[in-house]
Structure 1
């Protein structure tokens, strides 16, 4: 990668220097001896090359100097200006010289790109580590996606099974409801018939002579809720002790706790199991 960035910059710099030297020699060659013009051109190129070398040395040390960078750009702009000025006086070949006048600026830009690459370049070990981390992340993501797809498939299968079971239960309940409705309809029909009571009485008359039972078949319909029984006021400890003692000694020998509790509740009294057992302990 280093050769890909440094080679174009070096080639473009060399071409720019050659063109600058040629233009300076052609310009000054008519006014001064050509060795003098050659020295002037080499001076421009040498200054640019020296500044570039110093910039590269600072970049290799991880440093940067704005003054050196400004001098380097000044030489680049000077070379580009020489080429543009020559193109302005070249006449018919002005277009060709303008086409190459941007090369010094482009060379400086390529060296800037190469410097940016050097500041961000990583060693092969670091690149391998980054590739390993990225591959591990991709593997984990693939495993997570596979797990999610498997869980989604499992959940879909479970929901399908539950839905099918619910549908079967609903069909069974509907069938049972239809069967019960038919049975209650038969009972209602039998209850409303006039000869049902006589038929049942004739059957039971042989078993219970002299008794005429009244037969009422169950009625299919709404029922009315029964209100809760009024428990009445709670018994005090003294009253509870007296009741427990009376029930316990109502027979001889005295009743056990289980028998006493059964008679206590059968007589209509109410008390919690804790209070009743405490009263039993106090009495005994």
Structure 2
């Protein structure tokens, strides 16, 4: 991994030094002996190489010297200036020389990048630990996302099932309530009808006590509310009440409390006292007393 940053910097530095030396020898060789021009070119390249070596030594020790770095950039700028001046004064191939004039600055930039990489580089063990931590975090995140999606799907399914079951129960309850309401309405209409007693007497005999003497009633309308049944012996032994006696008992029980009792309460107390009367006669007596 280190070679990926150091090799380009070394190659760029070598090319820059060769170009600088060549340009100095060709440019100054016409004005002075070529040996002097060679010494000038080697001086520029040597100063640049010396400062670069010193920078690398400090970097290996984990140190940094701004003065040395400034001197290195100074030599790089000199090399760049030489190349640019030669390109501007060259009569032929000026564009080609300008195209390579940036190489010294580029070489210094590559060495800067390599130094930054060295200061932030990690050992293979540390890199492996980091990759393991990142992979573990990705695994945990994936498991958490899967668990959340599964929980959401389960909750959605449960709510759908509960809603459907609740809707079915509500429909059944509504149908049952409608059926019961109709049945009770029919029973209430039959129980409160004025001609119910006469109709039942003509169809079913005997319907109520007193219609046929000494016969126990076999059928009566359902009572709307709680009823305490009277035993058969009590019914047989209890004497049949006349309408006047029945009216007197109903009026007495009705006004036994203030305010006056309702029909249901009066009927419960009437039968609890051991009196016997059919529902039809008892309701007829109630209507007479209330009227």
Same fold (TM over 0.5): yes
Q: Secondary structure at the match of 2:85?
A: helix
Question: In the alignment, what sits opposite 1:169?
Answer: 169
Runs of 5+ unmatched residues, structure 1? 215-225, 227-284
More displaced, 131-140 or 181-190?
181-190
| Local SS of the residue matching 1:91 | coil
Q: Which moved more, 1:168-177 or 1:73-82?
A: 168-177
Q: CA-to-partner distance for each residue in 1:39-83, whole Å, 9 max, x for gaps?
A: 110010000000001001111111100000000000000000000
Matched ranges for 1:14-33 at <5 A = 14-33=14-33
Per-residue CA distance 1:104-154 (angstroms, 9 max, x = gap): 001100100010000000000000000111111111111111211221122
Q: 1:204 aligns with which of 193, 201, 208?
A: 208
Question: How many residues are aligned here?
Answer: 215
What is the CA–CA distance in structure 1 between the aligned matches of 2:146 and 2:23, rounded to whole Å? 69
Secondary structure of the residue that 1:194 maps to in structure 2? coil
TM-score normalised by structure 2 residue count = 0.70
Distance 1:211 1:102, change over 3 A: farther
Distance 1:178 1:70 in 2: 99
Runs of 4+ in 1 over 4 A off after TM superposition: 199-202, 211-214
Per-residue deviation at 1:187?
A: 2.0
Pair 1:53-2:56 in alignment: no
Backbone CA RMSD of aligned residues:
1.9
What SS does structure 1 have at the residue aligned with 2:32?
A: coil
SS of aligned partner of 2:157: helix
Return closer, same or farther for 1:193/1:91 CA change in 2, 3 Å cut-off.
same
CA distance in 1, matches of 2:92, 2:25: 20
1:73-99 deviation per Cα after TM superposition (whole angstroms, max 9, x unaligned): 000000000000001101231111100
Look up the match of 2:101: 101
Pairing of 1:1-284 with structure 2 (within 5 A)? 1-199=1-199, 203-205=207-209, 206-207=215-216, 209-210=240-241
TM-score in terms of structure 1 length? 0.71
Whose Rg is larger?
A: 2
Query: Closer, same or farther in 2 for the Cα pair 1:33/1:195, shift >3 Å?
Result: same
Distance in 1, Cα, partners of 2:120 & 2:27: 43
